[in-house]
Structure 1
Amino acid sequence: MEFWMQENSFTTKTEFGDLQISGNADHGFRPYQLLVSSVAVCSGGVLRKVMEKRRQTVKDIYIKADVKRSEQGANEVQEIHLHFIIDTENVTNTQMKKNLEWTRKNCSMVQSVKDSIHITETFELKNNS
């Protein structure tokens, strides 16, 4: 990836268009938002693949990410809690716990930050028949 300095941000070109990144939310995505988004969406994508491989129906996955940042120093991300609401059929809590265990082990973003950011997951099953 390549990044170009702008007046109030940095820009990178992607196949989906330009991405503006700035420490100021008025001028682009904030770096911590991209970090949290990467962890959440990687986890969601891996979870979907795990469930599909296990022949479990996945109608929808909603992810809520809560972030705790340091109040001192660099204001670094210390904790990310991911809460998954999964619209599925015939999946037990035990199966979903195993799905999330495999998701954690196979999500490259979680594995990249696991020694510096505490990541936790919870879930709810929706319309589970």
Structure 2
Amino acid sequence: MEFKMKEVGFHTTTEYGELHVAGDEAYGYRPYQLMVASIAVCSGGVLRKILTKKRIEIDDMTISTKVERIEAEANRIEKIHIHYRIKGNNLNPNKIQQSIELASKNCPMAQSVKESIKIEETFELI
């Protein structure tokens, strides 16, 4: 990827359109938002694949995140709490928990930051 400087922030063009990144939300996505989104969506995507392979059918999944940052350390991300809301019929909570643990071990984005950012995952079945 190549990022070009703008008056405020940077931008790049991908096959899906333009991506604007800046420290100020008025001009684009903030870098920490992209990092959190990458980890959450990667984890959710891996979880979805695992559930499909286990023949666990779900109707829908929503992922919420909460981020804890340390202001005194350049406002770095300390912890990301990922909460899955999974909709389906006759879902087994134990199998879902096992699948989330397996997904965490197989998500490249989560594994890339495992020594520096704590990732906590919870779920609820709807």
> Normalised by the shorter chain, which TM-score bucket?
over 0.9
Q: Is the 8 A contact 1:63 1:83 kept in 2?
A: yes
What per-residue deviation string (whole Å, max 9, x for no partner) do you get for residues 42-80 of structure 1? 011111100000001021111110000112131011000
Aligned residues: 126
> Following TM superposition, where does structure 1 have runs of at least 4 consecutive aligned residues deviating by more than 4 angstroms?
none
Give the gaps of 5 or more residues in structure 2. none
Structure with greater helix share of residues = 2
Which residue of structure 2 lines up, in the alignment, with residue 110 of structure 1?
Answer: 110
Which residue of structure 1 lines up, in the alignment, with residue 22 of structure 2?
Answer: 22
Q: Please tell me the root mean square deviation across aligned C-alpha atoms, in Å.
A: 0.7
Which residue of structure 1 lines up, in the alignment, with residue 120 of structure 2?
Answer: 120
Give the gaps of 5 or more residues in structure 1. none
- Percent identity, aligned pairs only, is 48
In the TM superposition, what are the counterparts of 1:43-122 in structure 2 within 5 Å? 43-122=43-122
TM-score, normalised by the number of residues in structure 2: 0.97
1 CA distance for matches of 2:12 and 2:78?
26
Which residue of structure 2 lines up, in the alignment, with residue 3 of structure 1?
Answer: 3
What per-residue deviation string (whole Å, max 9, x for no partner) do you get for residues 74-115 of structure 1? 101100000100012222111011110111011111001111
2 CA distance for matches of 1:102 and 1:4?
38
2 CA distance for matches of 1:60 and 1:109?
22
